[in-house]
Structure 1
Amino acid sequence: MTPLDDVPYTIYVVDDDDDFRESLVWLLQSHGYLVQAFASAESFLSICEQVLFGCLLVDVRMPGASGLDLHERLVNGGIHVPTLVMSGHGDLNMAISAFRKGVVDFLVKPLDDVYLFSRIDHCVAVEKENKRRMQRSEDATRRLNRLTSREREVFDGILAGMLNKQIADHLGISIKTVEVHRSRVMEKIGATSVIELARFGLAAKPSDT
């Protein structure tokens, strides 16, 4: 697994105004951000097969797909990237529509640099926490999937608060066998207590095992 801090956080700028786009790219790069710029929603969508880690700064009104169209296409495609929508017009109805579609904020041009960077910092913090949560979930799922079917049954019994004797009666096996499976469960998951087992159970994604 790639360490989270080693994954570059990228600002994706999508705007059909060449001068504005180049100026915004320069501003972001001067503050140390990795930036990729696109003149249309369609050109940005062409890279979206890869996993995106960053935030999207997109103009509302563009030829072809609009900024909100782009946001919706990403969401519908299962690509969730924090989106900051930009507009040269302070249209209240448009802003309300943007928020209802799940964008992080609606920014009016010319952009307030201080506010812009505060919103980007917010996106960075949220995205990093989301990635950490996803990595914890994937790690827990991998560990749970190491369990055999019987070990998973014992694991489920432990999480249900059952004693070894209750698990043995429920599964129709001996207490000694439960103890062996319990030991293997703890070893495979890397837990030292029932509390740690419960944390894994809560963090893991649903398993087919």
Structure 2
Amino acid sequence: MKILLLEDDTLLHEIIEEFLEELEYETVSTYDGQEAYELIYEQHFDLLILDVNVPSINGFDLLKSLKANSIDIPTIFITSLHTTKDMETGFNAGADDYIRKPFHLSELKLRIDNIKRLRKIESKEEQKINDEISYNYDLKAIILKDEKFQLSKTEAKVFEYLLKHSNKAVSIEEIALNNWVYDEAPTDTTVRTYIKNLRKILGKDSIINIKGVGYKLEL
């Protein structure tokens, strides 16, 4: 699991970074909002831990900008902003969680573990989709009526993103932006090919093409 840590308090930054590394998370650190923004476009991250009052771009505006560009990365705000209004602003920006400073590191671990569970990050679980279909995150396989269909690594990324957002239509651009760094993203044609392959397994009506919007998983 790869985490981006944005925190401009040097001491707290070092404490959190060391804690995350002890938990065996790959951690990329920055003290500046603009640098964080650029790193997110250059690398793939599974989780963002963002302070709010940081140089260049504050954490709230950073996350709003990402969401506006269809980049959906699980995010925890860690901030000294304590009011209910501040918390509301954080969640409205698109945060998954909000931790008020000061906090115990054990609380941060609990929040990370909860996001991993909810977002199926590094999950080894088998998710039941309906009476006939389930998906094994560890094996990267769709199980349909007791028959296992092994997905390629890239097909699995596409399917897992559609599954995570099965209640809404997502564009090809959104799928690409959230699963690959910019210069490694597959072409639109390639993503459509993966979706075609998934339809062969799940049925042609399983992934609906919503004209002008994108694709929606319906199982």
* Range into which the TM-score falls when normalised by the shorter chain: 0.5 to 0.7
Partner of 1:37 in structure 2?
Answer: 29
Q: Which one of the candidate residues 30, 52, 56 is aligned to 2:48?
A: 56
How many angstroms apart in 1 are the aligned matches of 2:66 and 2:199? 35
Gaps of 5+ in 2: 124-155, 167-174, 176-189, 213-219
How many angstroms apart in 2 are the aligned matches of 1:70 and 1:189? 36
Alpha-carbon offset, residue 57 of structure 1: 0.7
Structure number with higher strand proportion:
2
Alpha-carbon offset, residue 25 of structure 1: 0.2
Q: Which one of the candidate residues 65, 78, 82 is aligned to 2:74?
A: 82
TM-score (norm: length of structure 2): 0.59
Question: In angstroms, what is the RMSD of aligned CA positions?
Answer: 3.2
Alpha-carbon offset, residue 82 of structure 1: 1.0
Alpha-carbon offset, residue 110 of structure 1: 1.9
Inter-CA distance 19–203: structure 2 relative to 1 (3 Å threshold): same
Inter-CA distance 93–201: structure 2 relative to 1 (3 Å threshold): same
Alpha-carbon offset, residue 51 of structure 1: 5.5
**Superposed counterparts of 1:17-32, under 5 Å:** 17-32=9-24
Q: Which one of the candidate residues 160, 168, 184 is aligned to 1:133?
A: 160
Alpha-carbon offset, residue 12 of structure 1: 0.8
Gaps of 5+ in 1: 1-8, 147-187
Alpha-carbon offset, residue 81 of structure 1: 0.7
**Superposed counterparts of 1:1-209, under 5 Å:** 9-50=1-42, 52-125=44-117, 126-128=119-121, 131=157, 132-134=159-161, 141-142=192-193, 145=196, 190-191=200-201, 196-197=202-203, 200-203=204-207, 205-206=209-210
Give the count of matched residue pairs: 153
* Letter of the structure 2 residue corresponding to residue 95 of structure 1: M
4+ long deviations beyond 4 Å = 129-132, 135-141, 143-146, 188-191, 204-208
